[in-house]
Amino acid sequence: MSISQTVADFVTLAIRSGGWMEMDRIYLQNRVLALIGEHEQTPAEPSVTPCSSLELLDRLVERAKTNQVISGTLAEREILEGQLMDLLTPPPSVVNAVFAKHYEKDKKQATDYFFELSRQNDYIKTRQIAKNIVYKTPSTYGELEITINLSKPEKDPKEIAQSRKLETVNYPKCQLCFENEGYKGRADYPARTNHRIIRMNLDGESWGFQYSPYAYYNEHAIFLSEEHRPMVINRGTFQRLLKIVAVLPHYFVGSNADLPIVGGSILSHDHYQGGHHTFPMAIAELETTFDLALFPAVSFGIVKWPMSVIRLEGERSEDLVNAAEYITEQWRRYSDLSLSIRAYSEDGTPHHTVTPIARMVNGKFQLDLVLRDNNVSEEFPDGIFHPHQDVHHIKKENIGLIEVMGLAVLPPRLAKELSDVRDYLLGKSDNIAAYHLDWAKRMQAEYQITEENAETVIKQEVGKIFERVLEDAGVFKRDKSGQQGFQRFISTL
């Protein structure tokens, strides 16, 4: 295919995206030519069925490299890709108008439109996400989900060194700010030219809805405050979460906790995560139920889950907001020193919060409150209710919202390291990371390892470790004393 044919077909897709009309063809054609360093367009009849946007994008970027518009750096390539795909993306006002038009007919149809747009314009990095290792594994609490995250490309050391020489720029303030919409990017900051945000009014506050470029699950959405402010769990949080699932009832939405260790990776910008995915925790059964006289319209239960989860359900969101606020405030001041649970340090530093998750189930509002405690001790300097050191060889990072619900996001190093473990178990190599050695020897002792079952055994064992990780993060343990402690807390309510 000639470059002129590629340009013609790319422009056809741009017009079909809804942001342009056929009258704009020559204008768009010249925009593309300028971006890739071409100076003329020979006659080319647009294909009735063009290649995919990603195939055409690759051809355009390769021509730009040939024309020395860009070098081989990842940052330059991503900036150019964003600029080209921006032409396939209607402006924010149009995207929001089309979303609203779909929403009037069907709420799911609206998110389908926005999700597909974000995939087609390569804002959601579908090719990189496909590299992730994803599987399910059985546990005491039902199936858990495992992801080894290989989607985010790593920068060349030369690019990292170069970016450190750049002048510090505080715009956008962070990667979740509205200021990212349409931002070109730079060597030390991701390109966001093709990024769009759906505007939302949540009880008088301006919020936005977008998708995650490197999604961990289906339709991985992010809901973000227009105001750049720290994350906090309070009454407003519960109101907004329940409002979001009322607006998008086919989505769940939850918030990371608002304290270090138990919180997410970005605590500087108030935001939530959601999407069209059913996590293992959502379908976990209730272990016990209880009533609170203060909230007769709400049903309560303790979820059979390795972490400590109270589930609230009711027909009116306001009832759940009141109950959630009450339980959270009680938890914030609750201590049980026999279980190493301490609400405040001697200097008054708070240690208790919740990870809340909202969803609609059979026409009712459902809200899970996961009790969190970020205390540390001499024995557990990384966190008493954090993955303990013996499982750090698999997972030592924070246990945030996604992990809480039963999806392990494991570091990319494990792709090679687990392959090395497999070779070690099969006697093919002794090249194994030292911190995996005891684990590998235990597997050798417990299993008859063969070529056929080695990978399955390793995957199951990783699942067991993730189950342990979640148990470590649970404030009321699954043993007798822990469950009695959970009941003591419930009795205080």
pLDDT at 16: 94
pLDDT of residue 266: 80
The answer to the question of residue 62 being in a domain is yes
Is the pLDDT score of 70 beyond 80?
Answer: yes
Domain carrying residue 31: 3-69
Q: Which of 147-156, 340-349, 407-416, 483-492 has the lowest mean pLDDT?
A: 147-156
Q: How many domains does the chain have?
A: 1
pLDDT at 159: 55
pLDDT band, very low/low/confident/very high, at 166 (cuts 50, 70, 90): low
* Stretch 298-306: mean pLDDT: 98
Residue-level pLDDT at 436: 98
**What was the pLDDT predicted at 356?**
98
Say if residue 190 is preceded by a cis peptide, omega within 30 of 0: no
Instruction: Decide if pLDDT at 247 tops 60.
Output: yes
pLDDT, position 168: 79
* Reported confidence tier of residue 163, pLDDT bands at 50, 70, 90: low
Q: What is the mean pLDDT of residues 25-35?
A: 97
pLDDT at 220: 98
CA distance 143 to 163: 42
User: Does the pLDDT of residue 423 top 80, yes or no?
Assistant: yes
487: in domain: no
Domain membership flag for residue 420: no
Q: Residue 158: pLDDT band by 50, 70, 90 thresholds? A: low
| pLDDT given for residue 165 in this prediction | 60
> pLDDT tens digits for 328-376?
999 999 999 999 999 999 999 999 999 999 999 999 999 999 999 999 9
State the pLDDT at residue 164. Answer: 56
Share of the chain above pLDDT 70, in %: 97
Do 399 and 473 touch, CB atoms closer than 8 A?
A: yes
Assigned domain for 194 exists: no
Residue 225: pLDDT over 70: yes
Quick one: pLDDT at residue 169?
Answer: 84
Amino acid 154: pLDDT: 60
Residue at 458 is within a domain: no
**What per-residue confidence (pLDDT) applies to 48?**
86
Question: Model-level pTM?
Answer: 0.93
In a domain, 57, yes or no: yes
Q: Is residue 363 part of a domain?
A: no
pLDDT attached to residue 157? 52
Residue 38 lies in a domain: yes
pLDDT tens-digit profile of 96-152? 999 999 999 999 999 999 999 999 999 999 999 999 999 999 999 999 999 999 987
pLDDT-derived band at 167 (thresholds 50, 70, 90) equals: low
pLDDT in tens, 179-217: 999 999 998 899 999 999 999 999 899 999 999 999 999
Confidence of residue 46 (pLDDT cuts 50, 70, 90): confident
What percentage of the chain reaches a pLDDT higher than 90? 91
Residue with tokens 């990780």: 469
Res 62: pLDDT: 96
203 or 42, which is more confident: 42
Confidence of residue 448 (pLDDT cuts 50, 70, 90): very high
**pLDDT recorded at residue 203:** 86
